[in-house]
Amino acid sequence: MLGRDYIDQVCSISRALEVVGERWTLLIVRDVLLGRHRFDELVDSLGVTRTVLTQRLRLLVAEGVLERSAYQQRPERFAYHLTAKGQGLLPVIAHLLWWGDCYYPEPAGPPRLLRHRNCGGPVNPTFNCGDCGATLAPGDIATEPGPGLSPHEPGAPAGQPSARNVVSSTHAAMTTPTPSAPIRLKGPHVDEHIRW
């Protein structure tokens, strides 16, 4: 891990990696985006140890990426939600998803598809809708299970074949946005009810 004082690293990327660069951290952000807000939900989904999850959540809360709120008093339990700063990571998560789909595809196709919440069109890497052309803010983006989603994942369609048993590389090529499209981000777009 990079030092906190940045004597040798005068770089915005290195400073950002101090917050989100540790193993499991971006997957925690992904799961909160997917609607998993409670500690036990995150443990079950990620398969991470409780100690590691506690450390990562503590850092994300301290850095203002997540906020926690009590949902039960006895015993005291907390839910975690993205702040505006945390929602600013949506383009990072989306581009990692597309990059992974392009260069490390599942045989059955992408596990998750990003869609325009209003019309259902695909989200392009420029954050425009592929059907209606609308410019999309984070609150305009929803996710749906893709053909490569494991049947054991929450949200997977019943009876969906495992990605390990189906081979369809042409489907992945047709549905994965090209990574060469220019990226235009226009400041933080915040929607406190983001779900994807």
Dist CA 28 CA 36 (whole Å): 9
Q: What is the pLDDT of residue 18?
A: 86
Q: Which residues contact 154 (CB under 8 A, 6 or more apart)?
A: 34, 36, 45
Percentage with pLDDT > 70 across the chain: 73
Residues 29 and 56 in one domain: yes
**192 or 132: which carries more pLDDT confidence?**
132
- pLDDT value for 10: 81
For residue 16, what are its two tokens? 């950002």
- Both 110 and 99 in one domain: the answer is yes
More confident call, 15 vs 28 = 28
98 and 163 share one domain: yes
Predicted local confidence at residue 153, as pLDDT: 66
Is pLDDT of 145 > 80? Answer: yes
Q: Is residue 108 part of a domain?
A: yes
Who has greater pLDDT, 9 or 81? 81
Domain-embedded: residue 103: yes
Q: Residue 57: inside a domain, yes or no? A: yes
CB 194 within 8 A of CB 33: yes
Q: Is residue 193 part of a domain?
A: no
User: Which residues 6+ apart lie within 8 Å of 74 measured at CB?
Assistant: none
pTM, to two decimals: 0.74
Instruction: Report in angstroms the alpha-carbon separations of 22 from 3, 30, 99.
Output: 13, 14, 19
**pLDDT above 70 for 8:** yes
Helices and strands, counts by H and E, the chain: 7, 4
**Tell me, what's the pLDDT at 77?**
92
Contact 146, 175 (CB under 8 A): yes
Domain boundary among 86, 113, 130: 86
The CATH number of whichever domain residue 55 belongs to comes to 1.10.10.10
**110/77 same-domain check:** no
Answer with the one of 65, 86, 107 that is the final residue of a domain: 86
Single residue among 38, 54, 86 that ends a domain in this structure: 86
The verdict on 103 and 63 lying in the same domain is: no
The range of the structural domain enclosing residue 34 comes to 12-86
Q: Rounded to whole angstroms, how far apart are CA atoms 141 and 121? A: 10
Residues 76 and 19 in one domain: yes
Amino acid 103: pLDDT: 96
Q: In terms of domains, do 162 and 105 share one?
A: yes
pLDDT of 131 reads: 96
